[in-house]
Amino acid sequence: MVPTSWYLALSAVLFAIGAIGVLVRRNIIVVFMAIELMLNAVNLTFVAFARQLGTIDGQVIVFFVMTVAAAEAAVGLAIIIAAFRNRPTVNADELAVLRW
Amino acid sequence: MGPVTFAVLATALVVSALTVVVHPSPVKSAMALVVTLFLLAVVFVFLGAHMIAALQVIVYAGAIMVLFLFVIMLLNLSDDGAEARHQGGALFRLGAWIGGGVLAVELAALFLRVPFPAPATPPAGYGGAEAVATALFVDYLLPFELTSILLLVAIVGAVVLAQRRAA
């Protein structure tokens, strides 16, 4: 039986990798995928704690996180498509018209 | 799950997650993310979250990743050297890797210091569809109903944003 702390450590490493992805990548779709990676790392934390505490609530929260992630992916990708129509690039550095 | 199984799964997870972040081709990044999500579903099964594991494969590795691949192919993306033209360049990148590495080591060390007692044997049916559904439709009924509004707003928003403007 692997202790809960190992799962939490794995989740922390995955979260950090996702955070690095957001920082170092300029392709906005890959940045988006890194955000999904971070959401999943946190999901792992919820499931590990649900198992540790013997309750089901953590798993229900994961269900809600998945719903929000689906909504976020749909709207985010639609924004990317709209921005791409306006200006054919997915480089986050070049999509800076909103930056003052 | 024994320590060896965990080590193999964790290594595969970290490698595929790193592939998502470092691979220059967006399509291959997306495929690596699919692998990551599948491996996480396996970890969920070992943690007794069978329903969540099934949802992970269907919703995440299925629906959301198809959406990603669809957009990548719709926009006909290829590696155009945008990463190389990154403002701030190599120093920023190095800093991000060092900062992320420190974050990972700090958080992992913090978690590994916590002496969790061995979890009690879960009740029969733990993590199955019935247990999750009972919690979802009894204790979390209001959030569940609010999710439907969130999804409706997301659908309308996605359609409005992605449609072509009439000239």
Average pLDDT across chain B, whole number: 88
- Give the pLDDT score at B39: 95
Question: Taking a C-beta distance cutoff of 8 angstroms, is the pair B20, B36 a contact?
Answer: yes
Could you tell me where the DSSP H helices lie in chain A? Answer: 4-24, 28-53, 57-86
Per-window interface: B 137-166 vs A, CB < 8 A: 139-140, 143, 147, 150-151, 153-155, 157-159, 161-162, 164
User: Cβ neighbours of residue B137 under 8 Å, at least 6 residues apart?
Assistant: B144
Chain B hits for A91, Cβ within 8 Å: 80, 82, 85
For A95, the token pair is 């999509």
Distance of CA B30 to the CA centre of its chain: 11
Chain B hits for A56, Cβ within 8 Å: 126-127, 131-132, 134-135
Question: Taking a C-beta distance cutoff of 8 angstroms, is the pair B18, A17 a contact?
Answer: yes
The verdict on a CB contact (< 8 Å) between B108 and A13 is yes
- Give the pLDDT score at B99: 93
Give me the residues of chain B with pLDDT under 70, please.
77-88, 166-167
Residue B6 amino acid letter? F
The per-residue pLDDT for range A52-88, each reduced to its tens digit, is 998 899 999 999 999 999 999 999 999 888 888 888 7
The per-residue pLDDT for range A4-32, each reduced to its tens digit, is 899 999 999 999 999 999 998 888 899 99
Residue A99: CB atoms within 10 Å:
6
pTM to 2 decimals? 0.90
Question: Taking a C-beta distance cutoff of 8 angstroms, is the pair B32, B20 a contact?
Answer: yes
Residue of chain A nearest B159, judged by CA positions: A78
The verdict on a CB contact (< 8 Å) between B17 and A17 is yes
The verdict on a CB contact (< 8 Å) between B100 and A19 is yes
- Tell me the ipTM for this assembly: 0.91
The per-residue pLDDT for range B115-162, each reduced to its tens digit, is 888 887 778 888 888 889 999 999 999 999 999 999 999 999 999 988
Question: Taking a C-beta distance cutoff of 8 angstroms, is the pair B127, B134 a contact?
Answer: no
- Give the pLDDT score at A98: 74
- Give the pLDDT score at B88: 62
User: Cβ neighbours of residue B65 under 8 Å, at least 6 residues apart?
Assistant: B30, B33, B34, B37
- Give the pLDDT score at B85: 59
Could you please report the per-residue DSSP string of B16-83? HHHHHHH-S-HHHHHHHHHHHHHHHHHHHHHTT-HHHHHHIIIIIIIIIHHHHHHHHHHTT----STT
